[in-house]
């Protein structure tokens, strides 16, 4: 039995790091809304139902982290305000959200119907998330993956 875990340094694990940034309860939901086109404070609040204080804090953190940026805008006949938009760094969280969504679609939807389908804008076919290696092979699951520690020369 291979206990891969032994030689690995998880003090600076990327999973833990990422969760430290976006792992709080509302963060990924805020980002989901952002992907759906939401930009304004009140809309985030209405769609998520999060308390204003928490939402304000999360938006601030996400801006600090460079995942969202504040952009000034001016609605007609209103004073200038600012909205929140995804940066490239934020946009790169898309696969994470898709992965969460796909899992929920499979295991949580009662009637087996996914609430939201993702279609390829060009051809209309459903979008999937796949594990592939650089040699082009498609991987079926974790069993076909070998984790290799980089930092320490372990095992």
Residue 116 contacts residue 97 (beta carbons within 8 Å): no
**DSSP state, residue 69:** E
Window of 54-62, 76-84, 126-134 that interacts with its own copies by CB under 8 A: 126-134
Binding partner at 23 among DNA, its own copies, none, C-beta below 5 to 8 Å by kind: its own copies
Binding partner at 104 among its own copies, DNA, none, C-beta below 5 to 8 Å by kind: its own copies
- Other CB atoms within 10 A of residue 129 CB: 13
Q: Binders of DNA among 6-35, rule CB under 7 A?
A: 24-26
Residue 155 contacts residue 10 (beta carbons within 8 Å): no
Window of 53-61, 76-84, 107-115 that interacts with its own copies by CB under 8 A: 107-115
Binding partner at 106 among DNA, its own copies, none, C-beta below 5 to 8 Å by kind: its own copies
Q: Binders of DNA among 75-94, rule CB under 7 A?
A: 77-83
All residues at 6 or more sequence positions from 93 whose CB lies less than 8 Å from its CB, including other chains: 22, 28, 31, 67
- Residue with smaller CB distance to DNA, 38 or 93: 38
All residues at 6 or more sequence positions from 89 whose CB lies less than 8 Å from its CB, including other chains: 65, 66, 67
- Residue with smaller CB distance to DNA, 14 or 80: 80
């Amino acid at each position: 039995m291979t206990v891969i875990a032994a030689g690995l340094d998880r003090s600076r694990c990327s999973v833990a790091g990422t969760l430290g940034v976006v792992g709080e309860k509302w963060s990924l939901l805020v980002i989901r809304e952002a992907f759906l086109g939401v930009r304004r404070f009140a809309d985030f609040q209405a769609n998520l139902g999060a308390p204003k204080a928490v939402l304000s804090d999360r938006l601030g953190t996400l801006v600090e982290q460079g995942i969202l940026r504040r952009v000034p805008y001016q609605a007609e006949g209103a004073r200038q305000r600012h909205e929140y938009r995804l940066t490239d760094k934020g946009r790169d969280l898309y696969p994470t959200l898709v992965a969460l969504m796909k899992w929920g679609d499979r295991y949580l939807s009662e009637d087996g119907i996914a609430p939201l389908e993702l279609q390829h804008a060009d051809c209309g076919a459903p979008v999937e998330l796949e594990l592939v290696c650089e040699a082009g092979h498609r991987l079926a699951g974790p069993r076909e993956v070998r984790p290799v520690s980089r930092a320490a020369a372990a095992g």
